[in-house]
Chains A and B, each alone.
Chain A
């Protein structure tokens, strides 16, 4: 990602944070509400004492005044490690280039899916880093995926941008195995087009969700995929060269119908796992897309547990 574009993106996202949508696991103090209730100074509620509770958490003054035993319950704030998983398969490289030798339809087309994916990853990293969360990066490349461990220090976002800028999308490296490398309870941002191994990816997302991770699936769609160039084309899959189809005027409507149905099915199945699904078109401003993704409310699902492990 080029420096001017990076600067503009970071300026546009200044002050924007990425709050967790669920209670996070207990950890170092942070900005996200943790799923544990402890002894911090932020009072939440009283709870009647039950046998087995720690007597040190009794509100003695209340006991002295009212002769009733209550515990003082407080919320914990913790950080959440954020992992950004970026799909760098060949399908993200569409369109290939926009130079003068490209056909007219490519010269005036929207930025490539890879450019938008990089911008979205950097934007999400910036918003997560702005909340004090450590941000890491995993890019599906061959033979080994590119990895940046989660860090909170300054320059993390730029490191992520540099690493992404050094990568050219190619091959068909799967994204699903990268999810197994992410620790449980982390927040995962998946930037992909889901055109490779969506079945394995959905299964991995489901496993991550079960492990307590918050998963955001960002599906990048190029306008040319929605509306291919006018004319008859011999379509070739960049990840599976033998797969060639002829797109004619008569088949264009069927293609669009099937593509829309597939995207809706992917979104439905992602939602079914409890993860979020956001579709971003390449003609949308990355900063706007990032704001749309991180906007929302905290904790809408899940239950809080106190430090004793009991449900509230």
Chain B
């Protein structure tokens, strides 16, 4: 239980002490003394105030103290929520960290033995998020075992995703703590982690500490199948150039061959976000293929005509990451078009058509990749420019790349949706109806809802009833 206005409690305590002191003063008619010289005493009130060693009228005193206590609790905004602490911490541990190093043990031990409450632990290797407080020995041992366990190859949650999960924990922890510290124990061998750390650090509402420890295993062994996977023969990247990062990410080394496309092939068209579809592109989509329009950041701006009403690259906001298929690509991506807009062609409604669905989302829930049905196939529009460098080659980009190159109309399987909701996103976020990050108002609502709304009124009514009882009691 906590209070919103602590000084009211101090005032209440002072009033209660004053009340006890007042009950030490007996106000009443003193004993009678027959004195012939009474007339020389000044006339005045027939009552006198005398001091006593023990409180007078104990039952009235208790009743009035109870009234003061109830009124004080009502006015100080008592909350039944758990007591807030000054600092709480969230610990993110990279499974690659060698658990035999002294730094690793020191961080683990200090995390579980520090008097600072530990709000949660996000393991890269799994989805367990420990929120029990305080940690007992069993939980500690469990946490040790989890930390020492090697990450499975098919584990989708990367360290960047773990950082995102820690970011998701921030509103929950902030409800119980004034400040939130983030401790990251990582090997920094993961490129996605290197990219995600500055982003998370910028948005973290508190102290962020990153400890670099030696890796336990060869990080190359944990490279996902995307980098080592064989190039997809059914995917074409057109107008992307020889150094296109998208083509490199998909391993699409085969040059575009419009003459013999496979019916269900994926055709990624670069630098055509505002340009009308060509006949070849349209026919590819109408024939059942997947047409992806993914603008290249630098070239798109130059290619968009000036009279076009479509948003230009760089004119929109800067997003901090994209989530697709439960895997988060945490990086600074530049939005090239409104995410909620299906197609930005002139004359079309800015509202998403019924046939338009989201494939990937920004971290705040805004759709980042949309899919529009066209003939037998579909047209996917990527709303952000492909980040420079080799970020698309990292495991964090696997989910986004797979979602973009998936067959048309591929719906999210219920199992995947459940796993996503448990791991990173909730269904509302997946569907784009709610943002992923809790806002401050949401935190306020959560804090306010910790106490029943009728509690203050009930306390005041109770105090009033006690006063009425005292009044009735004194009259009788």
Q: Which residues in A have some Cβ–Cβ distance to B below 8 Å?
A: 90-91, 94, 96, 113, 193, 195, 224-225, 228-229, 231-239, 243-248, 251, 254-255, 258-259, 262
- Cβ-defined contact, A246 with B34, below 8 A: no
Of all A-B residue pairs in the complex, the 3 with the closest CB atoms, nearest first, are: A91-B36, A245-B41, A232-B30
- Cβ-defined contact, A236 with B46, below 8 A: no
Q: List 21 A-B contacts (CB under 8 A).
A: A90-B36, A91-B36, A94-B36, A231-B50, A232-B48, A233-B30, A233-B33, A234-B32, A234-B33, A235-B35, A236-B32, A236-B35, A236-B38, A237-B38, A238-B34, A239-B36, A245-B44, A246-B46, A246-B48, A247-B41, A248-B48
B32 — nearest CB in chain A belongs to which residue?
A234
- Cβ-defined contact, B36 with A233, below 8 A: no
- Cβ-defined contact, B45 with A233, below 8 A: no
- Cβ-defined contact, A258 with B46, below 8 A: no
Apart from A246-B45, A255-B40, list 12 A-B contacts with CB within 8 A.
Answer: A96-B34, A193-B36, A225-B36, A232-B30, A232-B50, A233-B31, A233-B35, A237-B36, A239-B36, A245-B38, A247-B35, A251-B42
**Does B47 reach chain A (CB closer than 8 Å)?**
yes
Interface of A is mostly: mixed
Residues on B with C-beta less than 8 A from A234 are 29-33, 46
Residues on A with C-beta less than 8 A from B40 are 255, 258-259, 262
Contact with A along B20-60 (1 / 0, CB 8 A): 00000000011111111111111111111110000000000
Q: How far is the CA of A19 from the CA of B50 in the complex (A)?
A: 54
How many A-B Cβ pairs are below 8 Å?
90
- Cβ-defined contact, A228 with B42, below 8 A: no
Residues on A with C-beta less than 8 A from B34 are 94, 96, 235-238
Residues on B with C-beta less than 8 A from A245 are 38-39, 41-44
A193 — nearest CB in chain B belongs to which residue?
B36
- Cβ-defined contact, A231 with B30, below 8 A: yes
Residues on A with C-beta less than 8 A from B47 are 246
A259 partner, pick from B30, B37, B49, beta carbons under 8 A: B37
B35 — nearest CB in chain A belongs to which residue?
A235
Interface of B is mostly: loop
- Cβ-defined contact, B35 with A243, below 8 A: no
Residues on A with C-beta less than 8 A from B39 are 237, 243, 245
- Cβ-defined contact, A244 with B46, below 8 A: yes
With both chains docked as a complex, state the minimum distance between the C-beta of B27 and any C-beta of chain A, in angstroms: 11
Q: How far is the CA of A237 from the CA of B48 in the complex (A)?
A: 18
Q: How far is the CA of A236 from the CA of B30 in the complex (A)?
A: 12
Band of interface residues on B: 20 to 34
Residues on A with C-beta less than 8 A from B46 are 234, 244, 246
Q: How far is the CA of A231 from the CA of B428 in the complex (A)?
A: 78
- Cβ-defined contact, B44 with A243, below 8 A: no
- Cβ-defined contact, B36 with A238, below 8 A: yes
Give the most central of B30, B46, B50: most A CB within 10 Å: B30
Q: How far is the CA of A247 from the CA of B36 in the complex (A)?
A: 13
With both chains docked as a complex, state the minimum distance between the C-beta of A303 and any C-beta of chain B, in angstroms: 40
Residues on B with C-beta less than 8 A from A237 are 34-36, 38-39
- Cβ-defined contact, A251 with B44, below 8 A: yes
- Cβ-defined contact, A94 with B50, below 8 A: no
Residues on B with C-beta less than 8 A from A255 are 37, 40-42
Residues on B with C-beta less than 8 A from A247 are 33, 35, 41
- Cβ-defined contact, B33 with A243, below 8 A: no
Q: How far is the CA of A262 from the CA of B47 in the complex (A)?
A: 26
Residues on B with C-beta less than 8 A from A94 are 34-36
Residues on A with C-beta less than 8 A from B32 are 233-234, 236, 244
- Cβ-defined contact, A228 with B35, below 8 A: yes
Q: How far is the CA of A229 from the CA of B31 in the complex (A)?
A: 11
A254 — nearest CB in chain B belongs to which residue?
B42
Q: How far is the CA of A236 from the CA of B29 in the complex (A)?
A: 12
Q: How far is the CA of A16 from the CA of B287 in the complex (A)?
A: 154
Residues on A with C-beta less than 8 A from B41 are 235, 245-247, 251, 254-255
A243 — nearest CB in chain B belongs to which residue?
B38
With both chains docked as a complex, state the minimum distance between the C-beta of A143 and any C-beta of chain B, in angstroms: 22
With both chains docked as a complex, state the minimum distance between the C-beta of A116 and any C-beta of chain B, in angstroms: 14
Q: How far is the CA of A10 from the CA of B30 in the complex (A)?
A: 43
Residues on B with C-beta less than 8 A from A232 are 30, 48, 50
Residues on B with C-beta less than 8 A from A91 are 36
A96 — nearest CB in chain B belongs to which residue?
B34
A221 — nearest CB in chain B belongs to which residue?
B37
Q: How far is the CA of A255 from the CA of B30 in the complex (A)?
A: 17
A225 partner, pick from B30, B37, B42, beta carbons under 8 A: B37
Residues on B with C-beta less than 8 A from A248 are 48-49
Q: How far is the CA of A273 from the CA of B43 in the complex (A)?
A: 32
Residues on A with C-beta less than 8 A from B30 are 231-234, 246
Q: How far is the CA of A34 from the CA of B44 in the complex (A)?
A: 55
With both chains docked as a complex, state the minimum distance between the C-beta of B194 and any C-beta of chain A, in angstroms: 82
Q: How far is the CA of A245 from the CA of B46 in the complex (A)?
A: 7
With both chains docked as a complex, state the minimum distance between the C-beta of B44 and any C-beta of chain A, in angstroms: 7
Q: How far is the CA of A94 from the CA of B35 in the complex (A)?
A: 7
Q: How far is the CA of A25 from the CA of B36 in the complex (A)?
A: 38
B41 — nearest CB in chain A belongs to which residue?
A245
Give the most central of B35, B36, B41, B50: most A CB within 10 Å: B36
B30 — nearest CB in chain A belongs to which residue?
A232
Residues on A with C-beta less than 8 A from B37 are 195, 225, 255, 259
B43 — nearest CB in chain A belongs to which residue?
A245
A106 — nearest CB in chain B belongs to which residue?
B33
Contact with A along B83-95 (1 / 0, CB 8 A): 0000000000000
CB contacts under 8 Å to A, within B3-35, are 29-35
Q: How far is the CA of A247 from the CA of B45 in the complex (A)?
A: 10
A256 — nearest CB in chain B belongs to which residue?
B40
A257 — nearest CB in chain B belongs to which residue?
B40
Q: How far is the CA of A231 from the CA of B35 in the complex (A)?
A: 14
Q: How far is the CA of A184 from the CA of B107 in the complex (A)?
A: 119
Residues on B with C-beta less than 8 A from A224 are 35
Give the most central of B30, B39, B50: most A CB within 10 Å: B39
With both chains docked as a complex, state the minimum distance between the C-beta of B304 and any C-beta of chain A, in angstroms: 94
Known: A231-B50, A246-B47. A236 touches B42 (CB 8 A): no
B36 — nearest CB in chain A belongs to which residue?
A91
With both chains docked as a complex, state the minimum distance between the C-beta of B56 and any C-beta of chain A, in angstroms: 14
Q: How far is the CA of A225 from the CA of B29 in the complex (A)?
A: 21
Q: How far is the CA of A229 from the CA of B34 in the complex (A)?
A: 11
Q: How far is the CA of A41 from the CA of B50 in the complex (A)?
A: 75
Residues on B with C-beta less than 8 A from A231 are 30-31, 50
Q: How far is the CA of A54 from the CA of B249 in the complex (A)?
A: 170
Known: A231-B30, A234-B29, A234-B31. A244 touches B36 (CB 8 A): no
- Cβ-defined contact, B48 with A236, below 8 A: no
Give the most central of B32, B37, B40, B44: most A CB within 10 Å: B37
Q: How far is the CA of A311 from the CA of B30 in the complex (A)?
A: 64
Q: How far is the CA of A248 from the CA of B35 in the complex (A)?
A: 14
